[in-house]
């Protein structure tokens, strides 16, 4: 059980570092203020999910889910182990 805990801790640290880097790479919400005036109907507004920014958002969501799952599993291994 100790080996599993060490491996999960290493994966958890890597997920934390990757999540921090991805959040810092993303644009702020204030960068999209043009959408108030209707500029969201441009090519980039319609295809944001396929752009690099859209990919960063998707990867961030998956890493956040992995962060939560690993944190819960690590907590249970400390209780049971």
Pick the more confident residue, 35 or 1: 1
Answer whether residue 27 shows pLDDT above 90. Answer: no
Tokens of 15: 């997920």
% of the chain surpassing 70 pLDDT: 73
pLDDT of residue 51: 85
Answer whether residue 59 shows pLDDT above 60. Answer: yes
| Range with the largest mean pLDDT of 8-12, 35-39, 43-47 | 8-12
CA pair distance 39, 44, nearest whole angstrom: 9
Our separate counts of H helices and E strands in the chain read 3, 0
**How far is CA 62 from its chain centroid?**
5
């Amino acid at each position: 059980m100790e080996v599993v805990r060490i491996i999960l801790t290493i994966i958890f640290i890597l997920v934390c570092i990757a999540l921090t880097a991805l959040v810092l790479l993303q644009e702020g919400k204030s960068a999209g203020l043009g959408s108030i005036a209707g500029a969201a109907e441009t090519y980039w507004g319609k295809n944001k999910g396929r752009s690099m920014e859209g990919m960063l958002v998707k990867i961030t969501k998956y890493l956040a889910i992995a962060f939560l799952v690993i944190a819960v599993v690590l907590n249970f291994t400390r209780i049971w182990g």
